[in-house]
Structure 1
């Protein structure tokens, strides 16, 4: 895998200072028609240098969403061959659902009840599995609850925020939907933002909702941003933009790093933002054809 040299910048040095050298940046890279990328779970050092595949297990195929367990022992990964895996810090598969017909899982997050939640792109809903990955996924929202689910995350009070975006075939809407901890609908249209097409969603340390956006979705001249919304009323708080001289296209997965910076994976890169003042801190990873889908910090 070719990689352009990436010098250690302020963000990388800060990560290394706070976390030591054992932690890695993990990125799922789409493959084939889904992104023309590597179709692998890639590992990078904190200075952005590519290590290689985090795991060569053949069950990892065109991976998408992933999430680290609260005790940091397991990395849950959605594999494109309709199965969910849990890996240890050595990249060894420790848990496996086995093939689940028609799963087509997108994003993934550990919920406040300890279960692993997955977005089901074909069923247009969200399902959950026990952390042991035993048994079949159980839907927690109705089938077809949104035209095309993108990212989702849980607020501190248990509310579920779901990004309803545009699918590969152009179907969908640009919207956020909110449910209470029991799965009851609280808001069918949480935001009024005419310049957003959500691709992933996370919750900030201040409780607000962060969304990666490519608007209009799929267009060559799409404007790519990360947008912050007030979690109480859906109003737009601020917009994070990459510096004009930085390539920022097809933004997808969002995660906060251990030092509090906000990271967004995209085509060819991972971009960092200072969440406090909104500054773009630049690319921490620079890899042609990365086509990143999700990001995690794991050690």
Structure 2
């Protein structure tokens, strides 16, 4: 395991205290699960920092921002891990984050350099299906809307995939997004608070497809030796998600918090991302065999400011369609 010199010096310079310093990282539920990255990340960082790393789960990704906005500067968290570029403009507007002083991540498919937020993984949103049950999945949003294929999605008010879907439709269709949602409304079986609940319903057979990622089938191939799951390529392209971490300005462990952000770029952190978070690492890393079979031909991504400006209108369109 290697840490950057800055991270090592930071950890070594921490004062000797009577009690072990505690670093609190606010993140989403699946990150802290026994099969997620949390356990391996906690073990590796604690070995390097002589500290107590504690993860606090707060639902899905979009729920993190809502919790921060509620708690403000009194938040007990030192680091927030799990926002994405659809939320960073709103997160920056809170004034709760401090600069991270780390170089830009090198393994992203797009240029990204933000003084407050540091990427740790990324992926493309996609609809996942079972090939044995749905031999010919829809190949576009319009085809999905015209079909009787059932889907389960996540709530954009609490879930980053749910919000990502809103931005995906908006980026692909612009002013016609409301029409797309009108057509999709009768395909949607249910809307869940987060990704875990939605994916669980799909695996239980409650829907033909689930909003997830192009990398989700890799879990089934690698962990379960199950080749039946795949993602459906959409003609409109696929929306990118870049997940980020940031240091809270009110942290009482600022040096330790910055050391943790540096650690997210290290091999010890990045190497566990593909087979625990089932996303692409933000730093160039050798991917495990069988991790991917193909990538989308077209990538869609709105800037942080564009996503923030379109969020309310997109949410209104989505709610209006589902309320009919």
Normalising to structure 2: TM-score of the pair? 0.28
Higher Cα Rg: structure 1 or 2?
2
Normalising to structure 1: TM-score of the pair? 0.29
* Higher normalized contact order (CA 8 Å, seq sep 6+, divided by chain length): 2
Higher helix share: 2
